[in-house]
Structures are given as C-alpha cells and as structure tokens.
Structure 1
C-alpha cells in the first residue's frame, strides 16, 4: 500500500462551498476513487489551503493513470475550478505529489 498527499488553494470566500460539494460528492466519483484503489481519503484545511491524503491499494501510479483516463474526474475537476486552484502534474494529469519527509508507524 502506497500513500499519496496533495495540496491546493481555495479561492477567497469559497471554503464553505468547497466543503458543501465534498459533503455531496457524486456517487460516480466515489466509484472512480474506489476503483482506482484509493481508500482512507481525507482532506483537511487551514485558512484557504487544503491538504489531501489517501492510501492506494493498487499503487499511486495505478491510481494516477486510472483517474487521468476518467471522464468523471475530468467533470469533477471542471466543477471544482470555480472554488479552488490546483496545478495538475503535466506528466500524470493528477495532483502533484508531495514528498514524504517523515513517517511514524
């Protein structure tokens, strides 16, 4: 199992809308994430910054590739553009990976 972390910025005044959209995440988006092998997905925020973490049963590379070819993910990213700013990795089409600097099991 591999771990993945990402971060993004919420546009000013849009944090409540960001939370609302995640409270009502589309069922088909949940299916894509699960089919990509993603579990234990959590998102936190401080100010306008959000930090996401998830674990990948099938590996990070598989999860990236699976999401990159998903029309549902494309639709979700378009839906979220008015509330957040996230630079996508040009090679993978996924969120840029944060580098792990510490781990305590």
Structure 2
C-alpha cells in the first residue's frame, strides 16, 4: 500500500539521517583526537629539547671546571656526573630521532 511505502521511506530517511549525524560526530571526535595528539607530541618535543639543552649546559660547565682542576680523586664523582649527563643527552637525541 501507499501508506506502507511512505512509512518505509520515512524509516529509511530517519535511519540515514541518524547515520549522517553519527558520522559527522565521529569526524569531529577524530579531529579533536588528532589535535590533542599533536599538542601532546609538541609538548613532549619541547620538553625533550629543553632537557637536552639544560643537560648540555650543565655538562659544559662541569667539563670546563674539570679541565681547570687537578686530576685527584675528589673530582671522580663530578666526572661520573658529567658522563651521566652525556648519557642523558644521547637518550634525548635518540628519542628525538623517533618522534
């Protein structure tokens, strides 16, 4: 009957309308997620860069001090600290390569 045909059309129209709304909502959520991921990645990159530069400055200061000091046992912990800073900087550079 004509009534059933119109009813089917109405149901299909509502169904496709709902599908379009859901798709639009999903696209909006995906855009928000992409922006959040990008912002988070940029924050990590900036933090990593800042850490690497800070460690480089500290390592440079230690190296300058060690070059002007005597080679006695009292500076061994400072040499170990400089080595740890170098290792930290390598880790930061390695991490940057994979971001």
Into which bin does the TM-score normalised by the smaller protein fall?
under 0.3
Task: Say which one has the larger Rg.
Answer: 2
The answer to which structure has the higher helix fraction is 2
Give the TM-score taking structure 1 as reference length.
0.25
The answer to which structure has the higher strand fraction is 1
